[in-house]
Amino acid sequence: MGSRHGSTLKLANLFSNASKREPSPLLAVSLTKRITELGRHGQVDRAHHLFVQMPQRTQVSWNAMLSILIDSGRLASALELFDEMPKKNSTSYTSMITGLSRAGFVSRAWQLFDTIPLSVQNVFSWTSMITCYAYNSEPLQALIFFARCYAEFFELKILPNSHTFSVLLKSCVSIQSLHAAMQVQTLSVKVLEEDSESSTFVQNSLIDVHAKLGNLVDAEKVFDRMKFKDLGSWNTIMDAYTHHLLVNKALSVFNSMTSKDTLSWNIIMAGLSNNHRAEEALKLFICLLRSEDDSMPNASTYTIILTATTTMTMLEFGKQVHASTVKIGLYNSNVFVCNSLLSMYSNCGIVELTERVFKEMHHKDIVSWNSVIQGLGQNGCSKRALEIAEQALSANKFNHNTFTAILTSCSHGGLVDEGLKYFNSMSEIYGIEQGLDQYVCMVDMLGRAGKVEIALEMLCKMPFRANSVAWETLLSACVIHGNVNVGRIAAKELEILKPGNARSYYALASVYQKAGKAEESKRVLDLIWNKELRKNSGFSWVVEA
């Protein structure tokens, strides 16, 4: 408290002295550093107040304040400040395009880019506009924009850099075009020096492109031919192996690395967790905590480990991870970590802690709302789940998955009337068309309530064809309620979609057994062991009563 008060007094003295003489350039530098420091610590209002009081503002001062407003999400204020700037350089334009990009205002970003004088255009402003397209779900437009501008910028001696090529290669992945990626690679070889650090950065991106477009062999070739490999190279090839489910190869790379960073650990732990080897991921996490290198767990690490903990339903371990997030300051402040905690506690059936985590979150995204609704509904708290659902709908924090969570809660709670109301309100009130997931939820809800015929009618009237999950859901309801007629229909549809599926046979046999038709049940069970049936999946096996 004392040091902060002292800093305020020093600044006050500086302002006082400045008013008695010509503003000093050193004063502007000092105040700009202070503004930047305040912005870095989230004290945006104090930074802006200090900026307004500055007796003399440099271009660096204006750009610093602009960057602070953009980074804090105050786009309207940033635009006002941008308009007030007496002079703008490339940094000013690039920062503003970045801010518009983050907010999703692509057209406005392009309009601003188009006004940039050629004298201040550079590779950074160019790349920021390409990035704006790429990260706002317009990867093809990013590539088209680059191609259109290349000749003009080449004449201005403005050449793409490693970051430009990296964004372009990621755009190639998004549009699933290996041909476009190879063209970008060819150009990068011409523009960048082969042995330079920039070339290595692009080659790392190329490994990632090949791997994600299904061409692991060429990804390995790029890696093997690299004259210089940095840590990013090793991380990228390891990630390529996990992407192709070659976890043992990824582990081999990980163990051979002489140096590792947090990303290295995250890649291998996520790869193990995603390939049903969660226990190994947890052991590696413990090794990370005990490691003597500079690698430290970050938010992504805890998200990965909490997911693995959820898979293993290891509640006590999860609680220890939770305590660790509190200790290092990630709890409450990081929405991804908190969402993982919500999933972990709800999957372990701990409703009280699920609600507590949700209540204590400083920021909640749509995933947070969906997770708590789904978690409460699946754990027998359907009424409470719907109360929170109403809050989410009122706060405009909803999407398709929100209604899946709501309908699941209604299904588990036997709230048929409420479920029908929410299902109908999707398109009528909230502007979201019902999808297959929501229809399956309705079939499950109606089936649990014994309304099997109505569930069948809903399946038949869907605007798209039902999948195997929908028919399996209906068949399960027929097993519970012994509905032979609907059970036969569901079983026949399943035989078309999944020929020779033994689970369907057993389910139909159970339907007959439940309905007191022991002979028919036996005939279905006999068919399971019939060798001719196994050889010929087109055999009609639905027994007539």
Residue 229 identity: K
pLDDT in tens, 50-60: 888 888 888 99
Q: What number is the average pLDDT over the span 184-193?
A: 84
Q: Which pLDDT does position 451 carry in this prediction?
A: 94
Q: What number is the average pLDDT over the span 296-316?
A: 93
Q: Are 283 and 318 in contact (CB under 8 A)?
A: no
Question: Predicted confidence band at 524 (pLDDT cuts at 50, 70, 90)?
Answer: low
Rounded Cα distance between 153 and 28, Å, is 35
Question: Predicted confidence band at 40 (pLDDT cuts at 50, 70, 90)?
Answer: confident
Question: Predicted confidence band at 1 (pLDDT cuts at 50, 70, 90)?
Answer: very low
Rounded Cα distance between 136 and 409, Å, is 33
Q: How many CB atoms lie within 10 A of CB 415?
A: 22
Structure tokens at 482: 């012994």
**Of 189, 152, 184, 145, which Cα lies nearest the Cα of 165?**
184
Q: What number is the average pLDDT over the span 459-465?
A: 91
Q: Which pLDDT does position 539 carry in this prediction?
A: 41
Is 443's pLDDT higher than 90? yes
Cα 207 to chain centroid distance, Å, stands at 22
Q: What number is the average pLDDT over the span 23-40?
A: 81
Q: Which pLDDT does position 536 carry in this prediction?
A: 41
Rounded Cα distance between 177 and 182, Å, is 9
Q: Give the 3-state secondary structure of residue 9.
A: helix
Rounded Cα distance between 159 and 122, Å, is 8
pLDDT in tens, 95-141: 999 999 998 999 999 999 999 998 899 999 999 999 999 999 999 99
Rounded Cα distance between 13 and 179, Å, is 63
Cα 47 to chain centroid distance, Å, stands at 32
Cα 161 to chain centroid distance, Å, stands at 27
Structure tokens at 119: 């004298």
Q: Are 343 and 307 in contact (CB under 8 A)?
A: yes
What's the mean per-residue pLDDT of the chain? 86
Residue 435 identity: G
What is the per-residue DSSP string for 451-497? -HHHHHHHHHT-SS---HHHHHHHHHHHHHHT-HHHHHHHHHHHHHH
pLDDT in tens, 383-394: 999 999 999 999
Cβ burial of 78 (10 Å; 0-12, 13-18, 19+) is buried
Q: Which pLDDT does position 514 carry in this prediction?
A: 67
**Of 371, 383, 439, which Cα lies nearest the Cα of 410?**
383
Residues 6 or more apart in contact with residue 289 via CB below 8 angstroms: 297
Rounded Cα distance between 513 and 523, Å, is 11
Q: Are 268 and 242 in contact (CB under 8 A)?
A: yes
